[in-house]
Structure 1
């Protein structure tokens, strides 16, 4: 290491002999202005789409007279019969409805409007009670037409899907509000993946993602980022990301693991350098800029996002086309600190060797 022969090197720079540079293994790279992107890889777990889960329940108590679904895992279609319930309360209400209907018809020619109105209100209230129990309008109309009381209420599937929970058996007594079956629409599933905290700036809702499974080699599934959970896992310091993935053929099954890749959008062109060129002291970052002729300048910079290709964004302190050191910069850093320390010592010595100012002369006649 030597000083510039033409005089002292510029303040803040260091000069290194070319042979010494070669033995130190100093390598450089140019700062580029280019777009920065990142692909985030994580392990995901397939789960049910909670928005496509439906619980089949009843609003009336009774007994399971017939169970059309024999086991969990059975596929069902929208409108398919699931359970027939016998309910004494349902039978009584239908009989009350028929009685109110006959009473209203008998009062139509009576000429007593107040009695007709009371019978009409009774009929409406009884009909409304049947509606509250989800008795279909077609069944109420058939009751009016035929006068035949149905002793069972048939529950149908509100969606097409797979029965994932069956909580009743044939002949069982059920109470109003009790969950009987749970049906899942698996045409779309969720995939939940954990990503690291520093990867969060790259992930946005709506981004494209694709995934593969070990049991289906060579097949790729595509989805989108639907939600980013607003908290981290305490143990792993990772954030959970939810993907929505179409599931044709029901190949994706809940509880499966998958390899997920989230493709981040390409950022606007910015100055980027290899990540190894940046020296990070904890409170600040700097790089060594190669000035040519064996001269180097330590320069503070402000860095931004890290790309997946080993590049890091430089927000300030560097321009495109400048050459930075990518290896052995720690040796240059120690040399720079050594020179700084020597300069401080020299300044301190000069201050100590300076002649002291003369004390002002005492005025004549002054005595202590």
Structure 2
């Protein structure tokens, strides 16, 4: 009832009075077998500085050190324990064999449809004036390249046209001058006036018409430079606008972007160029094929996800910005990975441990390093397990508790043996084991029994 009470002779428990039971040899988990080294069988070879690095044959560790042998009667990863078959069956212990397999994972996530950023355009006027006529007066309206957007009246524009006509007349008057410098200056003045109109977004057709009719136009027509939809309108008819003010935003949605949220633990499965399946829940689970073109190099602080960008053709404009879709990313297959069931791994802080089922009802805790996990509940083991090892997949917590208890007992026995070697009493008093304070001179039951028992048999 009180496993902390350990003495080197038969007797009764000083706490509850029950008879002490013998502690079986080999369950302390701390010492190797007494057999000669030649008769002991090597189980595997291990790196002296990294217990998870094990091999089936001698060699060098990643640090360049020689691998050391681990024998079958040793448990370097912790305390080796023995459990009889009936108890193991009652505990519900199940095992699985570690083996190589191809691993893959399907990442299911949510995607947000967005505009194709290089196909978003801002329309503004380079001159100040009044909007005389607004041809596009609705948000969401489709426009074609070259379509009229608005007409703007600007006194500066009228002055610039008059200067152009004066320069045009001046060149005609001085073209026949006997001084080439005068004619060349008239040509430069005309080109300068023409250039000024061009920089104000007056088209070549308008300039040619002005040159032909010699009639100043009151308004300037702004035209759409690209195909797309008007996703923002910030101007009304009759409004005064300043130079540089944004009037429209036009976006081409013949192609759209999809931002897929990828959690940090899923990143090892995502690659640029990977194929993705986009499922439209609003169109009867219709499925489209896309491709990952970019993985953003930062994490969204609110969602703790990384954005993966997909590009998808949108010929019928069925996909609309800010819609949600379902995304499935099929990862590339990892070939010949050593894997075990994920439930076999115990996580304790920074350590991962599995229990290896040995012959004779023995179980050995072994530290491991894990890798990726697939859709079938299997997890990759990078170090610590060899192909063919049987790992425990259930009741590991019971085994872990027993293993740690055996290891603690082994450490206490080691302390006792050191005291015995130094001439001190090897037995541990009930006060020390139970942690209770006893009156001076008291003699707990069983503390004086069996002094003539064998010291090598532990009870």
Do both share a fold (TM > 0.5)? yes
Measured on the aligned residues, the alpha-carbon RMSD in Å equals 2.5
- Residues 79 and 157 in structure 1, CA contact (< 8 A), matched pair in contact too: yes
Q: CA deviation at 1:355?
A: 5.0
Aligned partners of 1:287, 1:319: CA distance in 2, in Å?
12
Work out whether 1:189 is the aligned partner of 2:252. Answer: no
In the alignment, structure 1 segments of 5+ residues that lack a partner are: 358-368
Give the equivalent residue in structure 2 for 1:343: 410
Partner of 2:450: none
Asked whether the equivalents of residues 306 and 313 of structure 1 are also in contact (C-alpha less than 8 Å), the reply is: yes
* Cα distance in structure 2, aligned partners of 1:234 and 1:165: 29
Query: What secondary structure does 2:297 align onto?
Result: strand
Q: TM-score if structure 1 supplies the norm length?
A: 0.88
Alignment match of 1:217 (pick from 267, 284, 291): 284
Equivalent position to 2:167, from 100, 109, 119: 100
Which residue of 358, 361, 367 maps to 1:300?
A: 367
1:15–1:295 CA contact under 8 A, matched in 2: yes
Q: May I ask how many residue pairs the two structures share in their alignment?
A: 356
Structure 2 match to 1:232: 299
Paired with 2:167 and 2:388, the residues of 1 have a C-alpha distance of 92
Question: CA–CA distance in 1 between the matches of 2:273 and 2:131?
Answer: 45
Greater share of residues in strand: 1
Selected match of 2:124 from 57, 60, 66: 57
Tell me the residue number matched to 1:71: 138
Q: Are the counterparts in 1 of residues 356 and 364 from structure 2 also a CA contact under 8 Å?
A: yes
User: How far apart are the structure 1 equivalents of 2:372 and 2:85?
Assistant: 34
Q: For 1:1-368, list aligned pairs within 5 A.
A: 10-12=73-75, 13-354=80-421
Give, in angstroms, the shift of residue 235 of structure 1. Answer: 4.0
Secondary structure at the counterpart of residue 176 of structure 2: coil
1:153-204 deviations in whole A, cap 9, x for unaligned? 2222112111111222222222221111111111122223333222223223
Question: 1:2: how far off?
Answer: 6.7
Q: What SS is found at the alignment partner of 1:128?
A: helix
CA distance in 2, matches of 1:213, 1:26: 45
Moved >4 Å (runs of 4+): 1-5
Contact 1:2–1:17 at 8 Å: present in 2 too?
Answer: no
Q: Given that residues 176 and 183 in structure 2 are in contact (C-alpha distance below 8 angstroms), is that contact kept between their aligned partners in structure 1?
A: no
Further displaced range: 272-281 or 260-269: 260-269
CA distance in 2, matches of 1:42, 1:22: 41
Deviation at 1:300, TM superposition (A): 1.3
- What SS does structure 2 have at the residue aligned with 1:269? strand
5+ long unaligned stretches in structure 2? 1-22, 28-32, 35-71, 425-459
Query: How many angstroms apart in 1 are the aligned matches of 2:26 and 2:128?
Result: 97
Secondary structure of the structure 1 residue equivalent to 2:122? strand
After superposition, the C-alpha distances for 1:207-256 in whole angstroms (9 at most, x for unaligned) are 22223233211301332334333333444433333333322311122222
TM-score of the two chains, using structure 2 as the length reference: 0.72
